[in-house]
Structure 1
Amino acid sequence: MPDATQPTADVAHSAAAPGEGRPRRRYTIGELAKVFEVTPRTIRFYEQEGLLQPERRGQTRIYHEKDRVRLKLTLRGKRLGFSLAEIREVIQLYDNAPDGDERQLRLMLDILADKRAAMQQQLEDIRILQNELDDVEARCQESLAALTRQRNKD
Protein backbone atom coordinates (compact mmCIF):
# COMPACT_ATOMS: atom_id res chain seq x y z
CA MET A 1 0.00 0.00 0.00
CA PRO A 2 1.49 3.41 -0.96
CA ASP A 3 2.35 5.96 1.70
CA ALA A 4 -0.44 8.58 1.78
CA THR A 5 2.04 11.41 2.38
CA GLN A 6 4.06 10.61 -0.73
CA PRO A 7 2.78 11.14 -4.27
CA THR A 8 2.29 8.03 -6.32
CA ALA A 9 3.65 9.68 -9.45
CA ASP A 10 6.97 8.58 -10.86
CA VAL A 11 10.14 10.63 -10.27
CA ALA A 12 10.89 10.67 -13.98
CA HIS A 13 10.43 14.43 -14.17
CA SER A 14 12.80 15.02 -11.24
CA ALA A 15 16.30 16.33 -11.58
CA ALA A 16 19.34 15.60 -9.45
CA ALA A 17 20.10 18.33 -6.98
CA PRO A 18 23.53 19.89 -7.33
CA GLY A 19 26.04 17.89 -5.33
CA GLU A 20 23.56 15.10 -4.59
CA GLY A 21 23.36 11.64 -6.05
CA ARG A 22 19.63 11.22 -5.63
CA PRO A 23 16.94 12.98 -7.68
CA ARG A 24 15.02 15.91 -6.25
CA ARG A 25 11.30 15.27 -6.36
CA ARG A 26 9.08 17.75 -8.18
CA TYR A 27 5.33 17.98 -7.85
CA THR A 28 2.54 19.48 -9.87
CA ILE A 29 -0.22 21.39 -8.12
CA GLY A 30 -2.54 18.48 -8.91
CA GLU A 31 -0.21 15.94 -7.29
CA LEU A 32 0.07 17.99 -4.09
CA ALA A 33 -3.67 18.55 -4.03
CA LYS A 34 -4.29 14.82 -4.35
CA VAL A 35 -1.67 13.83 -1.76
CA PHE A 36 -3.02 16.25 0.88
CA GLU A 37 -6.67 16.00 -0.17
CA VAL A 38 -7.06 19.73 -0.75
CA THR A 39 -8.04 21.69 -3.83
CA PRO A 40 -5.56 23.38 -6.16
CA ARG A 41 -7.31 26.61 -5.16
CA THR A 42 -6.27 26.00 -1.53
CA ILE A 43 -2.66 25.50 -2.62
CA ARG A 44 -2.76 28.70 -4.69
CA PHE A 45 -4.19 30.55 -1.68
CA TYR A 46 -1.32 29.38 0.54
CA GLU A 47 1.09 30.43 -2.20
CA GLN A 48 -0.53 33.88 -2.34
CA GLU A 49 -0.16 34.10 1.46
CA GLY A 50 3.59 33.43 1.11
CA LEU A 51 3.48 29.98 2.70
CA LEU A 52 4.52 28.17 -0.50
CA GLN A 53 7.06 29.31 -3.07
CA PRO A 54 6.90 27.13 -6.16
CA GLU A 55 9.23 27.51 -9.08
CA ARG A 56 7.50 29.09 -12.10
CA ARG A 57 7.90 28.04 -15.70
CA GLY A 58 5.53 30.27 -17.60
CA GLN A 59 2.08 29.55 -16.17
CA THR A 60 3.21 26.23 -14.67
CA ARG A 61 3.97 25.90 -10.98
CA ILE A 62 6.63 23.38 -10.01
CA TYR A 63 6.67 22.42 -6.36
CA HIS A 64 9.72 20.91 -4.69
CA GLU A 65 10.13 18.84 -1.53
CA LYS A 66 10.47 22.04 0.52
CA ASP A 67 7.02 23.13 -0.70
CA ARG A 68 5.56 19.71 0.18
CA VAL A 69 6.92 20.02 3.72
CA ARG A 70 5.67 23.61 4.01
CA LEU A 71 2.20 22.53 2.86
CA LYS A 72 2.22 19.69 5.37
CA LEU A 73 3.21 22.11 8.17
CA THR A 74 0.56 24.59 7.04
CA LEU A 75 -2.23 22.02 7.01
CA ARG A 76 -1.15 20.61 10.37
CA GLY A 77 -1.03 24.14 11.79
CA LYS A 78 -4.54 24.87 10.53
CA ARG A 79 -5.81 21.63 12.11
CA LEU A 80 -4.27 22.75 15.41
CA GLY A 81 -5.94 26.16 15.15
CA PHE A 82 -2.87 28.22 14.24
CA SER A 83 -3.46 31.48 12.41
CA LEU A 84 -1.79 31.99 9.04
CA ALA A 85 0.55 34.52 10.69
CA GLU A 86 1.62 31.92 13.27
CA ILE A 87 2.11 29.31 10.58
CA ARG A 88 4.14 31.76 8.49
CA GLU A 89 6.37 32.55 11.49
CA VAL A 90 7.00 28.86 12.20
CA ILE A 91 7.72 28.17 8.52
CA GLN A 92 10.14 31.10 8.32
CA LEU A 93 12.02 29.72 11.31
CA TYR A 94 11.95 26.27 9.69
CA ASP A 95 13.41 27.75 6.49
CA ASN A 96 16.11 29.77 8.25
CA ALA A 97 17.22 27.30 10.88
CA PRO A 98 18.89 23.91 11.08
CA ASP A 99 16.85 20.99 12.43
CA GLY A 100 16.00 21.42 16.08
CA ASP A 101 16.79 25.13 16.16
CA GLU A 102 16.12 26.40 19.69
CA ARG A 103 14.18 29.50 18.53
CA GLN A 104 11.87 27.39 16.38
CA LEU A 105 11.21 24.97 19.20
CA ARG A 106 10.60 27.73 21.75
CA LEU A 107 8.21 29.50 19.38
CA MET A 108 6.31 26.26 18.80
CA LEU A 109 6.08 25.63 22.54
CA ASP A 110 4.78 29.19 23.12
CA ILE A 111 2.17 28.85 20.38
CA LEU A 112 1.12 25.43 21.67
CA ALA A 113 0.79 26.76 25.23
CA ASP A 114 -1.39 29.62 23.96
CA LYS A 115 -3.55 27.18 21.95
CA ARG A 116 -3.89 24.87 24.95
CA ALA A 117 -4.94 27.78 27.21
CA ALA A 118 -7.50 28.95 24.64
CA MET A 119 -8.88 25.41 24.33
CA GLN A 120 -9.12 25.10 28.13
CA GLN A 121 -11.12 28.34 28.20
CA GLN A 122 -13.36 27.06 25.41
CA LEU A 123 -13.93 23.82 27.33
CA GLU A 124 -14.91 25.79 30.43
CA ASP A 125 -17.24 27.98 28.34
CA ILE A 126 -18.81 24.82 26.87
CA ARG A 127 -19.29 23.31 30.35
CA ILE A 128 -21.03 26.50 31.52
CA LEU A 129 -23.24 26.53 28.43
CA GLN A 130 -24.11 22.84 28.93
CA ASN A 131 -25.14 23.57 32.53
CA GLU A 132 -27.32 26.46 31.36
CA LEU A 133 -28.91 24.24 28.70
CA ASP A 134 -29.52 21.53 31.32
CA ASP A 135 -31.24 24.10 33.58
CA VAL A 136 -33.45 25.43 30.78
CA GLU A 137 -34.29 21.89 29.67
CA ALA A 138 -35.22 20.88 33.23
CA ARG A 139 -37.48 23.94 33.62
CA CYS A 140 -39.13 23.19 30.27
CA GLN A 141 -39.69 19.55 31.30
CA GLU A 142 -41.20 20.66 34.63
CA SER A 143 -43.47 23.19 32.92
CA LEU A 144 -44.59 20.62 30.36
CA ALA A 145 -45.29 18.08 33.11
CA ALA A 146 -47.30 20.69 35.06
CA LEU A 147 -49.32 21.56 31.93
CA THR A 148 -49.99 17.86 31.27
CA ARG A 149 -51.12 17.33 34.89
CA GLN A 150 -53.38 20.39 34.71
CA ARG A 151 -54.90 19.22 31.43
CA ASN A 152 -55.53 15.75 32.88
CA LYS A 153 -57.34 17.29 35.92
CA ASP A 154 -59.70 19.26 33.71
Structure 2
Amino acid sequence: MTSEPDDIAFHDRTPDDRSQGFFSGLALPDLPGPFTITELAMAFHITPRAIRFYEDQGLLNPERRGQNRIYHRRDFVRLAWILRGKRVGFSLAEISEMLDLYDLEDGRARQLQLTLEKCRTRIAALHEQRADIDTMIEELQQFCTTLETLVTPEAGAARGQSEE
Protein backbone atom coordinates (compact mmCIF):
# COMPACT_ATOMS: atom_id res chain seq x y z
CA MET A 1 0.00 0.00 0.00
CA THR A 2 1.19 3.46 -0.75
CA SER A 3 1.27 6.08 1.93
CA GLU A 4 0.12 9.62 1.39
CA PRO A 5 2.38 12.60 2.04
CA ASP A 6 2.05 13.89 5.59
CA ASP A 7 2.19 17.52 4.50
CA ILE A 8 -1.19 17.43 2.72
CA ALA A 9 -4.17 17.53 5.06
CA PHE A 10 -7.02 15.16 4.22
CA HIS A 11 -9.58 17.97 3.93
CA ASP A 12 -7.29 19.90 1.52
CA ARG A 13 -7.29 17.07 -0.99
CA THR A 14 -9.65 16.81 -3.89
CA PRO A 15 -12.32 14.09 -3.77
CA ASP A 16 -10.27 12.13 -6.31
CA ASP A 17 -7.18 12.34 -4.05
CA ARG A 18 -9.21 11.16 -1.06
CA SER A 19 -10.76 8.26 -2.95
CA GLN A 20 -7.35 7.15 -4.23
CA GLY A 21 -6.10 7.01 -0.63
CA PHE A 22 -9.22 5.16 0.47
CA PHE A 23 -9.12 2.74 -2.44
CA SER A 24 -5.34 2.38 -2.67
CA GLY A 25 -4.27 -1.07 -3.75
CA LEU A 26 -7.54 -1.81 -5.53
CA ALA A 27 -8.00 -2.46 -9.22
CA LEU A 28 -10.56 0.30 -9.64
CA PRO A 29 -13.01 -0.38 -12.43
CA ASP A 30 -14.37 2.52 -14.39
CA LEU A 31 -16.91 3.91 -11.93
CA PRO A 32 -19.89 4.31 -11.61
CA GLY A 33 -20.75 0.76 -12.66
CA PRO A 34 -22.83 -1.35 -12.76
CA PHE A 35 -20.62 -4.30 -11.83
CA THR A 36 -21.02 -8.04 -11.85
CA ILE A 37 -20.08 -10.00 -8.75
CA THR A 38 -16.95 -11.19 -10.58
CA GLU A 39 -15.85 -7.64 -11.41
CA LEU A 40 -16.40 -6.54 -7.82
CA ALA A 41 -14.52 -9.56 -6.48
CA MET A 42 -11.60 -8.93 -8.82
CA ALA A 43 -11.44 -5.23 -7.94
CA PHE A 44 -11.18 -6.03 -4.21
CA HIS A 45 -9.09 -9.21 -4.53
CA ILE A 46 -11.73 -11.27 -2.72
CA THR A 47 -13.97 -14.14 -3.74
CA PRO A 48 -17.58 -13.89 -4.90
CA ARG A 49 -18.40 -16.07 -1.92
CA ALA A 50 -17.09 -13.33 0.42
CA ILE A 51 -19.34 -10.80 -1.30
CA ARG A 52 -22.34 -13.12 -0.92
CA PHE A 53 -21.45 -13.48 2.78
CA TYR A 54 -21.61 -9.70 3.23
CA GLU A 55 -24.97 -9.76 1.46
CA ASP A 56 -26.21 -12.47 3.84
CA GLN A 57 -25.11 -10.25 6.74
CA GLY A 58 -27.20 -7.39 5.32
CA LEU A 59 -24.20 -5.19 4.57
CA LEU A 60 -24.70 -5.24 0.79
CA ASN A 61 -27.98 -5.25 -1.08
CA PRO A 62 -27.40 -5.49 -4.83
CA GLU A 63 -30.09 -5.10 -7.43
CA ARG A 64 -31.39 -8.44 -8.71
CA ARG A 65 -32.20 -9.17 -12.32
CA GLY A 66 -33.36 -12.74 -12.42
CA GLN A 67 -30.52 -14.82 -10.99
CA ASN A 68 -27.94 -12.06 -11.54
CA ARG A 69 -26.73 -9.61 -8.97
CA ILE A 70 -26.10 -6.09 -10.24
CA TYR A 71 -23.80 -3.93 -8.12
CA HIS A 72 -23.72 -0.17 -8.40
CA ARG A 73 -21.25 2.49 -7.25
CA ARG A 74 -22.95 2.56 -3.84
CA ASP A 75 -22.27 -1.18 -3.39
CA PHE A 76 -18.65 -0.64 -4.45
CA VAL A 77 -18.15 2.08 -1.84
CA ARG A 78 -19.94 0.05 0.86
CA LEU A 79 -17.73 -2.95 0.14
CA ALA A 80 -14.65 -0.74 0.41
CA TRP A 81 -15.87 0.44 3.84
CA ILE A 82 -16.58 -3.15 4.92
CA LEU A 83 -13.14 -4.41 3.94
CA ARG A 84 -11.30 -1.45 5.41
CA GLY A 85 -13.29 -1.82 8.63
CA LYS A 86 -12.44 -5.52 8.84
CA ARG A 87 -8.77 -4.81 8.08
CA VAL A 88 -8.50 -2.42 11.04
CA GLY A 89 -10.35 -4.73 13.41
CA PHE A 90 -13.96 -3.57 13.48
CA SER A 91 -16.65 -6.20 13.92
CA LEU A 92 -19.33 -6.65 11.27
CA ALA A 93 -21.84 -5.21 13.75
CA GLU A 94 -19.75 -2.04 14.12
CA ILE A 95 -19.32 -1.78 10.37
CA SER A 96 -23.05 -2.23 9.89
CA GLU A 97 -23.77 0.53 12.41
CA MET A 98 -21.46 2.91 10.55
CA LEU A 99 -22.89 2.00 7.14
CA ASP A 100 -26.49 2.36 8.32
CA LEU A 101 -25.86 6.03 9.09
CA TYR A 102 -24.94 6.71 5.45
CA ASP A 103 -28.56 7.23 4.43
CA LEU A 104 -29.42 9.83 7.06
CA GLU A 105 -30.22 13.17 5.50
CA ASP A 106 -27.47 15.00 7.39
CA GLY A 107 -24.74 15.09 4.76
CA ARG A 108 -23.16 12.02 6.40
CA ALA A 109 -22.25 14.13 9.46
CA ARG A 110 -23.44 11.51 11.99
CA GLN A 111 -21.77 8.68 10.05
CA LEU A 112 -18.46 10.51 9.94
CA GLN A 113 -18.65 11.46 13.63
CA LEU A 114 -19.47 7.90 14.73
CA THR A 115 -16.72 6.48 12.52
CA LEU A 116 -14.22 8.95 13.95
CA GLU A 117 -15.23 7.98 17.51
CA LYS A 118 -14.92 4.27 16.71
CA CYS A 119 -11.53 4.80 15.06
CA ARG A 120 -10.22 6.69 18.10
CA THR A 121 -11.53 3.97 20.42
CA ARG A 122 -9.88 1.30 18.25
CA ILE A 123 -6.58 3.20 18.25
CA ALA A 124 -6.67 3.42 22.06
CA ALA A 125 -7.36 -0.33 22.30
CA LEU A 126 -4.47 -1.08 19.94
CA HIS A 127 -2.11 1.12 21.99
CA GLU A 128 -3.19 -0.79 25.10
CA GLN A 129 -2.59 -4.12 23.33
CA ARG A 130 0.82 -2.91 22.18
CA ALA A 131 1.73 -1.97 25.77
CA ASP A 132 0.58 -5.42 26.95
CA ILE A 133 2.65 -7.10 24.25
CA ASP A 134 5.71 -5.01 25.15
CA THR A 135 5.30 -6.04 28.80
CA MET A 136 5.03 -9.71 27.84
CA ILE A 137 8.10 -9.48 25.61
CA GLU A 138 10.10 -7.89 28.41
CA GLU A 139 9.00 -10.57 30.86
CA LEU A 140 9.87 -13.35 28.40
CA GLN A 141 13.28 -11.81 27.76
CA GLN A 142 13.97 -11.75 31.50
CA PHE A 143 12.83 -15.36 31.78
CA CYS A 144 15.13 -16.35 28.87
CA THR A 145 18.05 -14.62 30.61
CA THR A 146 17.31 -16.59 33.78
CA LEU A 147 17.04 -19.86 31.84
CA GLU A 148 20.27 -19.18 29.96
CA THR A 149 22.17 -19.00 33.26
CA LEU A 150 20.80 -22.45 34.12
CA VAL A 151 21.72 -23.93 30.74
CA THR A 152 25.40 -22.91 30.79
CA PRO A 153 27.93 -25.77 30.43
CA GLU A 154 28.99 -25.40 34.09
CA ALA A 155 25.41 -25.75 35.28
CA GLY A 156 24.95 -28.85 33.13
CA ALA A 157 28.17 -30.39 34.50
CA ALA A 158 27.13 -29.64 38.07
CA ARG A 159 23.74 -31.29 37.51
CA GLY A 160 25.46 -34.33 35.99
CA GLN A 161 27.78 -34.71 38.99
CA SER A 162 24.96 -34.44 41.50
CA GLU A 163 23.06 -37.27 39.77
CA GLU A 164 25.98 -39.72 40.20
Alpha-carbon distance between aligned partners in 2 of 1:26 and 1:63, rounded to the nearest angstrom: 5
- The correspondence for 2:129, drawn from 122, 125, 131, is 122
The answer to whether the aligner puts 1:6 opposite 2:13 as a matched pair is no
Query: C-alpha deviations, 1:30-49, integer Å up to 9, x for none?
Result: 11110000011110000111
1:94-133 correspondence runs (5 A): 94-97=102-105, 99=107, 101-133=108-140
Alpha-carbon distance between aligned partners in 2 of 1:109 and 1:142, rounded to the nearest angstrom: 50
Q: CA RMSD in A?
A: 2.4
Residue number in structure 2 paired with 1:53: 61
The residue identity in structure 1 corresponding to 2:36 is T
Residue number in structure 2 paired with 1:83: 91
Shift of 1:84: 0.7
Alpha-carbon distance between aligned partners in 1 of 2:48 and 2:155, rounded to the nearest angstrom: 58
Higher strand proportion (structure 1 or 2):
1
Query: C-alpha deviations, 1:104-152, integer Å up to 9, x for none?
Result: 2220121012101110110111011101110111111110014246379
Alpha-carbon distance between aligned partners in 2 of 1:35 and 1:98, rounded to the nearest angstrom: 30
The residue identity in structure 1 corresponding to 2:28 is Q
Paired residues, number: 137
- After TM superposition, where is structure 1 displaced by more than 6 Å over at least 4 residues in a row? 151-154
Alpha-carbon distance between aligned partners in 1 of 2:34 and 2:106, rounded to the nearest angstrom: 22
1:25-64 correspondence runs (5 A): 25-64=33-72
Percent identical across equivalent pairs? 45
Alpha-carbon distance between aligned partners in 1 of 2:94 and 2:58, rounded to the nearest angstrom: 12
Residue number in structure 2 paired with 1:70: 78
Provide TM-score, normalisation by structure 1.
0.79
Structure 2: which 5+ residue stretches go unaligned? 1-24
Provide TM-score, normalisation by structure 2.
0.74
Structure 1: which 5+ residue stretches go unaligned? 12-23
Alpha-carbon distance between aligned partners in 1 of 2:26 and 2:136, rounded to the nearest angstrom: 39
